[in-house]
Amino acid sequence: MARSAKTFQVTIRNSGQTIACTTDRTILQAAIAAGIDYPYACATGNCATCVSKLEEGKVSLLPHSDAALGKAQLKSGLTLACRARPRSDVTVNWLARAGG
C-alpha cells in the first residue's frame, strides 16, 4: 500500500512567504501553485535558473545534470528548487532572477 505524502513547511526567504509542500512535490511546484514568482526555466534540473541556497532543513533531489548542480555546489549548501522535495521543514533563498 502506498504511503501518503507528508507535508512540510517551506519558507522562501526572498518572498517572505511560508507555504505547505508535500513530500511528493518539488519546492518549485509548491511555490508556483502558491502564486510565488520563483525563478525557473527548465524545471527539470538542467539549467540552474532556480538554484537556491538551502538555509535550513533537508531535501531529496530528483535526477538533474552535473551542469546544473555539481557535487561541490551541493556540498556548499545549494539546491535546485525544481528537483528538491522537502524531507523536513526547510528555508530556501533563490539566487537568480529568471529570464524569459
Partner 1 sequence: MALPTDVAARRARACKTFLEQAHAATAAEGINPSTLHAIKLKLVAFAKRTELFPLADFAMPEAQARNHPLLVEDNDGYGLYLTISLPGKEAAPHDHGIWCANAAISGRERHVFYRRTDDGKQNGHAIVVKVGEVVVEPGTGIVMADHDIHSTEVVGDRPAIGLSLYGYALARFPSVTWFHPEYSSVRATPSRRHAA
Q: Interaction with partner 1 in 28-87: which residues (CB under 8 A)?
A: 32, 40-47, 49, 61-71
Q: Based on CB atoms, which residue is closest to partner 1, 1 or 72?
A: 72
Q: Confirm or reject binding of residue 21 to partner 1 (CB under 8 A).
A: no
* Among 34, 43, 4, 23, residue whose Cα is nearest residue 89: 23
The number of residues that bind partner 1 (CB under 8 A) is: 24
Q: Based on CB atoms, which residue is closest to partner 1, 16 or 63?
A: 63
CB of 32 to partner 1, least distance (A): 6
- In contact, 60 and 8? CB cutoff 8 Å: no
Residue type, 52: S
**Letter string b/e over residues 43-72, b meaning 16 or more CB atoms within 10 A of that residue's CB:** bbbbbbbbbbebeebebeeeebeeebbeee
- In contact, 10 and 27? CB cutoff 8 Å: yes
Q: Based on CB atoms, which residue is closest to partner 1, 44 or 91?
A: 44
By CB under 8 A, name the binding residues for partner 1. Answer: 32, 40-47, 49, 61-71, 98-100
